[in-house]
A and B are shown apart, each in its own frame.
Chain A
């Protein structure tokens, strides 16, 4: 299954936005006087916010065609950018409507706010919704986000469902575009119901169905290096999952303290003998407690997700660049991506020799496939920058002629990708997946 191309998805989103603007256009005969201008701007921002929130939810609905075609990490980036925009639109809508109505009524904004909330149907609920959205926006802000646990942040996000539901009513009961327009109201209902069904199916029912069908359980936990463990998960009929190396699952381990959170971890090996393997570095409470998992623990796995796979490759030659625990999906690709001897190179950067994961496995694969394996180990102050355009070109002959897969912490991908571009690798052949969520 191929999935939808990112361009097609963006075009569809844009077309929806144009349709929403058309709704406003056809329902607004005149814009006369300052009050109309302000209220008009408020209506447009409100309509767009109501539409965009469904787009945000749909992007995160784990629809396989999106996960495959666009890629989970890009979806998450779109979602976070779009999320800020939606919060901005919703706030702008609220303020503009209050202001515009106040100007029209010759009233002050405070008492207009009270009137709106108390006398217009469903507006009070919508006010609660906008406060929720602002709250979610605040916790996702760059300054605050790192101070929260992943799980806290993740679960607070579920309040967007509540916000969307609270805001839904006032659109239809107060929106000039919908009152008296059956068709527009039906279309709005259809949009929200469709997104709700996508969420229900792919985020809630599919994982349960999978768990029943595949019966995932932890089979063993192996220490790989300092603070790094591999968890092997056994399951039935894994071939039915259509897993491609480079993909990840969202794992929910059913123990007393882990069952409520589903965390994304890449497969660190191609599936074999009825077993999947993930490799996890101790980066927080969740990854730490994985080391204490007992064999036999039941697991719910959502996936496979991600488009960081061999499907993206266009050229014969392939370069994989990994840093730290970013080796996990690349380890799986190194093992399996089709390549003739000499066409495949793995460049693996780690802080120290002890931090190199899978050394034996990687060297084994390298020898078997005739693939080049390059380590860069030690502090940057000592060994220099392994990711400068110059070094990369020297290390990898015909660099421009490669497809390059990059995986590592954000600051690493932030340095490697520009360096590759400078070295002459076209952007469409640089594939990356970041750990950021």
Chain B
């Protein structure tokens, strides 16, 4: 019996120690969140292709390979037309579970639609989280008409990535 209590205690303490050695917030430590294609000119070239984001200065969008298809480099602020609005892609934002990227459709200054191009889907759990969190985030974004929206609890990383990508899209628009 004493041995059993000992085993339980050692296991519990070990678990707590292991977990406590990990960083505990999204901002501390070595930046779990970072924009892949930020304004930093040094990195935007190399990362732009792989993540599928369009360059910040602009023009090309329309597919995820960086605007190489058919030479469809459009207008100055997000070219592809869709359903009577301007579609603007946000940056692909790397989260710890994978990149998040949204595309917004604008009608004048109004956000009429948010499309999620990428979200973490490495495993079943990620998909669960997406299925639940993304519709909420989309609703919030449409209601707020800005990136000033709340994170969805239990989907913190995805939310943060979503908000950053949304903000970058709004900045470009």
Query: Hey, which bits of chain A sit against chain B, CB under 8 A?
Result: 21, 24-25, 28-33, 35, 37, 40-41, 44-45, 81, 84-85, 88-89, 101, 103-106, 115, 119-121, 173-174, 176, 179-180
Residue with the greatest number of chain B CB neighbours at <10 A, chosen from A30, A88, A106, A174: A30
A105-B156 Cα distance, complex, nearest whole Å? 11
Residue with the greatest number of chain A CB neighbours at <10 A, chosen from B7, B11, B122, B154: B154
Given A174-B123, A174-B124, A174-B125, A31:B19 Cβ within 8 A: yes
* Contact A30–B32 (Cβ < 8 Å): yes
* Contact A105–B124 (Cβ < 8 Å): no
Q: Flag whether B83 is at the interface (Cβ < 8 A).
A: no
Total number of residue pairs linking A and B with CB closer than 8 Å: 78
Q: Flag whether B24 is at the interface (Cβ < 8 A).
A: yes
List 26 A–B pairs whose Cβ atoms lie within 8 Å, in order of A's numbering.
A25-B18, A28-B22, A30-B22, A30-B23, A30-B24, A30-B29, A31-B22, A32-B24, A33-B156, A35-B154, A41-B15, A41-B19, A44-B15, A44-B18, A85-B7, A88-B7, A88-B11, A89-B11, A103-B154, A105-B132, A106-B153, A106-B154, A120-B128, A121-B124, A174-B125, A176-B123
A333-B154 Cα distance, complex, nearest whole Å? 66
Provide the B1-19 mask, 1 if CB < 8 A to any CB of A, else 0: 0011001100100010011
Provide the B103-145 mask, 1 if CB < 8 A to any CB of A, else 0: 0000000000000000000111100110010000000000000
A119-B129 Cα distance, complex, nearest whole Å? 13
Return chain A residues, CB-CB under 8 Å to B24. 30-32
Return chain B residues, CB-CB under 8 Å to A21. 18
A106-B32 Cα distance, complex, nearest whole Å? 24
Residue among A30, A88, A121, A180 making CB contact with B8, cutoff 8 Å: A88
* Contact A40–B19 (Cβ < 8 Å): yes
Q: Which 4 A-B pairs have the closest CB atoms?
A: A104-B154, A29-B96, A179-B123, A31-B22
A15 → chain B closest CB, angstroms: 16
Contacts A31-B24, A179-B123 given; 11 further ones with Cβ under 8 A?
A28-B22, A29-B23, A30-B25, A30-B29, A31-B20, A32-B24, A40-B19, A40-B22, A88-B11, A105-B128, A173-B124
* Contact B122–A180 (Cβ < 8 Å): yes
Which B residue sits closest to A38, measured CB to CB?
B19
A147 → chain B closest CB, angstroms: 20
A173-B127 Cα distance, complex, nearest whole Å? 13
A179-B124 Cα distance, complex, nearest whole Å? 9
A21-B15 Cα distance, complex, nearest whole Å? 10
A104-B97 Cα distance, complex, nearest whole Å? 15
Which A residue sits closest to B132, measured CB to CB?
A105
Return chain B residues, CB-CB under 8 Å to A121. 124
Return chain A residues, CB-CB under 8 Å to B11. 45, 88-89
A149 → chain B closest CB, angstroms: 26
A80 → chain B closest CB, angstroms: 11
- Total interface residues on B, using CB and 8 Å? 28
Return chain B residues, CB-CB under 8 Å to A106. 153-154
* Contact A176–B125 (Cβ < 8 Å): yes
Of residues 19 to 50 in B, which have CB atoms within 8 Å of A's CB atoms?
A: 19-20, 22-26, 29, 32
* Contact A179–B122 (Cβ < 8 Å): yes
A180-B98 Cα distance, complex, nearest whole Å? 12
Which B residue sits closest to A122, measured CB to CB?
B124
A12-B11 Cα distance, complex, nearest whole Å? 19
* Contact B19–A119 (Cβ < 8 Å): no
Residue among B3, B23, B128 making CB contact with A81, cutoff 8 Å: B3
B63 → chain A closest CB, angstroms: 25
A30-B20 Cα distance, complex, nearest whole Å? 10
* Contact A30–B96 (Cβ < 8 Å): yes
Return chain B residues, CB-CB under 8 Å to A31. 19-20, 22-24
Return chain A residues, CB-CB under 8 Å to B15. 40-41, 44-45
Return chain B residues, CB-CB under 8 Å to A173. 123-124
Return chain A residues, CB-CB under 8 Å to B156. 32-33
Return chain A residues, CB-CB under 8 Å to B22. 28-31, 40
A112 → chain B closest CB, angstroms: 10
B7 → chain A closest CB, angstroms: 6
A119-B23 Cα distance, complex, nearest whole Å? 31
Return chain A residues, CB-CB under 8 Å to B32. 29-30
A179 → chain B closest CB, angstroms: 4
B8 → chain A closest CB, angstroms: 7
A179-B125 Cα distance, complex, nearest whole Å? 11
B93 → chain A closest CB, angstroms: 15
Which B residue sits closest to A48, measured CB to CB?
B11
A81-B24 Cα distance, complex, nearest whole Å? 35
* Contact B123–A105 (Cβ < 8 Å): no
A30-B33 Cα distance, complex, nearest whole Å? 11
* Contact A119–B96 (Cβ < 8 Å): no
Return chain A residues, CB-CB under 8 Å to B25. 30, 32
Which A residue sits closest to B7, measured CB to CB?
A85
A120-B156 Cα distance, complex, nearest whole Å? 21
